Amino acid sequence: MSRRAAPKANSAAAEGEGTPVSRRAAPKANSTVAEGEGTPISPRKPGRATIADVAKEAGVSKATVSRFYNHRDRLLSADIAARVEAAVARLAYTPSPMAQALSHGRSRLIGLIVADITNPYSVAVLRGAEKACQEAGYLVMLFNLGNDIDREREAIDALAGYQVDGFILNTLGRGAGLVDADALHGKPAVLVDRRHDGMHTDFVSLDNPAAMKAACGHLVEGGYRELLYITEPLQGVSSRRERTAAFGDCIAAHQPRVAGEVFESTGDDSDALDAALRALRKRARSGRRAAVLSGNAIVTLRVASAMARLGWHFGVELGFVGFDDPEWAPLIGPGLSAVAQPTDAIGRTAATCLIERLRGLEGPPRQLLLPGELVVRGSSGAV
């Protein structure tokens, strides 16, 4: 993990060959005639031109227009192709990407399911995935679960109804069987951040053990001896379990001079959180400096609110390092030290993995763990 101090041709038989084409009526007074040409141009209809408009303009069938876009070199004579091309130009016709994709058995749509769109992590990963999909010619359809576990299967079924080509899943990850391979309607998928016990597919995530080792080690090196790791409820979520386990490993590696505890925080437990911080501060009064590690940006906001309620200051009463580095982290107190996740790279990598599978890549599921970056600010200054 890197560490930085934040500064703050041959034609086949085609329509029109060997078959007389009906003559057009002479243009009416209000028809437009192209300069230097004797071919009348039909008055433009209001609204977007359709394939039927192009066919009528060129004097061919809709099937011929379709062949023009899909197999013009093999199925159309030069004369027919030229007529269709001229009609397309006159009408400024643009074919429907969805219709073209479906004719080839692909929608060019990627379904992206996120656990909570209000989480800064989800938004940042979405941006990275969307950019990679766009560069590869795909569009992203988003489904936000709103942390509602009962909607996981509903989300996949809904997106499958739009004929998405595959899925990028950053779902709740709470237990096997809720989302499994059978639920994917035969579509490939990539998991982001959270594993599913019943799903064996490509997986992209932060290297959680390495990130926690760096964050915890930074505090120990800075002289902090009483550590409290605050996380959202584990609830079987793999990323939370991995960070909690890595925190335990860090404490074990530095015992007996370092002690640590874990507190699971919910959104409605401000009194319990305040009590946990008071207990940590009480242990610090024995001459052992104390610090908090936060499991994500949401928890960091809860800790910041608790510090304000208690009248305490980061880097003074308590040291601090949090997972995620939101844009407001440098603005709180002396600046909050953080583990910056490579969210853009995680999103891009997940999208790339899925697109590779869609293009025929075979092989066993891949696990791609990306390094984080420790950003040191005033909240974890050496003591």
DSSP state of 182: G
In this prediction, residue 284 has a pLDDT band, given cuts at 50, 70 and 90, of: confident
Question: What pLDDT score was predicted for residue 99?
Answer: 63
Nearest to 212 by CA among 174, 245, 253, 257: 245
H or E element: which one contains 154? helix 152-161
pLDDT tens digit string along 191-225?
A: 999 998 778 899 999 999 999 999 999 999 999 99
Rounded average pLDDT over 273-283: 96
Question: What pLDDT score was predicted for residue 350?
Answer: 98
Question: What pLDDT score was predicted for residue 128?
Answer: 96
Position 16 pLDDT exceeds 50: no
Question: What pLDDT score was predicted for residue 9?
Answer: 42
Question: What pLDDT score was predicted for residue 267?
Answer: 84
Nearest to 293 by CA among 331, 240, 253, 346: 240
pLDDT tens digit string along 115-155?
A: 889 888 999 999 999 999 999 999 999 999 988 888 888 89
For residue 342, report the phi and psi dihedrals to the nearest 5 degrees: -80, 65
Question: What pLDDT score was predicted for residue 67?
Answer: 80
Choice between 44 and 341, residue whose per-residue pLDDT is larger: 341
Question: What pLDDT score was predicted for residue 106?
Answer: 76
In the chain, what are the domains?
32-95 (1.10.260.40), 109-205+345-370 (3.40.50.2300), 208-341+372-380 (3.40.50.2300)
Position 382 pLDDT exceeds 50: yes
Question: What pLDDT score was predicted for residue 18?
Answer: 41
Alpha carbon distance 119, 55 (integer Å): 50
User: CB-side exposure of 196: number of CA atoms within 13 Å?
Assistant: 25
Q: Are 227 and 219 in contact (CB under 8 A)?
A: yes
Rounded average pLDDT over 299-325: 97
Query: Which of 32-46, 67-81, 251-265 has the lowest average pLDDT?
Result: 32-46
In this prediction, residue 37 has a pLDDT band, given cuts at 50, 70 and 90, of: very low
Cis peptide before 364 (omega within 30 of 0): no
Only one residue has tokens 């739009």, namely 162
pLDDT tens digit string along 60-116?
A: 988 888 788 766 656 788 888 889 889 989 988 887 655 665 566 678 899 999 988
